[in-house]
A and B are shown apart, each in its own frame.
Chain A
Amino acid sequence: MFNLPDYFEFFAPVKIVSGRKAVDNLPYELDQLQAKRPFIVTDKGIEKAGLLEIVKKAMDAGEMEIGAIYDETPPDSSIEVVNEAAKLFRENNCDSIVAIGGGSVIDTAKGVNIVVTENADDLSKLMGAEVLKKPMKPFIVIPTTAGTGSEVTLVAMISNPAEDVKMPFTSYRLFPNTAIIDPRMTMTMPPKITAATGMDALTHAMEAYYCNQKNPFSDGYAITAISMISKYLVRAVKDGKDEEARYVMANAATVAGVAFSNSMVGVVHSLGHAAGGVAHIPHGVAMAIFLPIGLEFNIPVAGKYIGELLLPFAGPEEYARTPEEKRPYRLIELVNQLREELHQLSGLPLTLKEAGVKEDQLEEIAEHAINDGSLMFNPRDMDRKEALELIRKAYEGK
Chain B
Amino acid sequence: MKYAGNRFKRSIVKFVLSLLGKAIQEVSKVDEEVKMEMRALPEGFVAMMKVLPSGPSMAVKKEGDRFHYLGSDYPEDKADLVVMFKNLESAFMVLTAQMSTHRAYAEHRISVKGDLVKAMIFTRCLNIVQAYLFPKFVAGIVLKRVPPMGGRQMKRLKVMLNLPFGK
Chain A residues engaging chain B, CB cutoff 8 angstroms: 5-9, 127-131, 163, 165, 167-168, 211-213, 264, 370-373, 375-377, 380-381, 383
A-B contact pairs, 28 of them (CB 8 A): A5-B107, A8-B107, A127-B115, A129-B111, A131-B111, A131-B112, A165-B117, A167-B115, A168-B116, A212-B102, A212-B106, A213-B107, A264-B106, A370-B124, A371-B40, A371-B120, A371-B121, A372-B120, A373-B116, A373-B119, A373-B120, A375-B120, A376-B102, A376-B105, A376-B123, A377-B105, A381-B145, A383-B145
In contact, B116 and A167 (Cβ under 8 angstroms): yes
Determine if B44 is an interface residue (Cβ-Cβ < 8 Å). no
* Interface-centre pick from A8, A127, A167 (highest chain B CB count, 10 A): A127
The 6 closest A-B pairs by CB, nearest first: A212-B106, A130-B111, A381-B144, A128-B113, A373-B116, A129-B112
In contact, B120 and A7 (Cβ under 8 angstroms): no
Question: Chain A residues near B105 (CB, 8 Å)?
Answer: 212, 376-377
B107 nearest in chain A by CB position: A7
CA distance A383 to B127 in the complex (A): 13
A114 to chain B, nearest CB (A): 14
- Count: A-B pairs, CB below 8 Å: 65
Question: Chain B residues near A127 (CB, 8 Å)?
Answer: 113-116
B109 nearest in chain A by CB position: A7
CA distance A163 to B118 in the complex (A): 12
Question: Chain B residues near A372 (CB, 8 Å)?
Answer: 117, 120
A301 nearest in chain B by CB position: B144
CA distance A163 to B108 in the complex (A): 27
Candidates A130, A167, A213, A383; contact of B117 at CB < 8 Å: A167
In contact, B106 and A130 (Cβ under 8 angstroms): no
Task: List residues of B (68-114) whose CB comes within 8 Å of A's CBs.
Answer: 102-103, 105-108, 111-114
Question: Chain A residues near B120 (CB, 8 Å)?
Answer: 370-373, 375-376
Question: Chain B residues near A5 (CB, 8 Å)?
Answer: 107
B116 nearest in chain A by CB position: A373
In contact, B114 and A128 (Cβ under 8 angstroms): yes
A132 to chain B, nearest CB (A): 10
Question: Chain A residues near B116 (CB, 8 Å)?
Answer: 127-129, 167-168, 373
A130 to chain B, nearest CB (A): 4
Question: Chain B residues near A131 (CB, 8 Å)?
Answer: 111-113
Question: Chain A residues near B108 (CB, 8 Å)?
Answer: 9, 130, 213
In contact, A213 and B106 (Cβ under 8 angstroms): yes
CA distance A376 to B108 in the complex (A): 12
Instruction: Please name 7 further chain A to chain B contacts, defined as beta carbons within 8 Å, in addition to the given A127-B113, A127-B114, sorted by A numbering.
Output: A128-B115, A128-B116, A129-B111, A165-B117, A167-B115, A212-B106, A371-B117
Candidates B103, B113, B119; contact of A212 at CB < 8 Å: B103
B142 to chain A, nearest CB (A): 13
Question: Chain B residues near A213 (CB, 8 Å)?
Answer: 106-108
CA distance A168 to B114 in the complex (A): 11
* B 48-64 to A, binary, CB cutoff 8 A, 1 in contact else 0: 00000000000000000
CA distance A264 to B108 in the complex (A): 11
A130 nearest in chain B by CB position: B111
B106 nearest in chain A by CB position: A212
* Interface-centre pick from A5, A131, A380 (highest chain B CB count, 10 A): A131
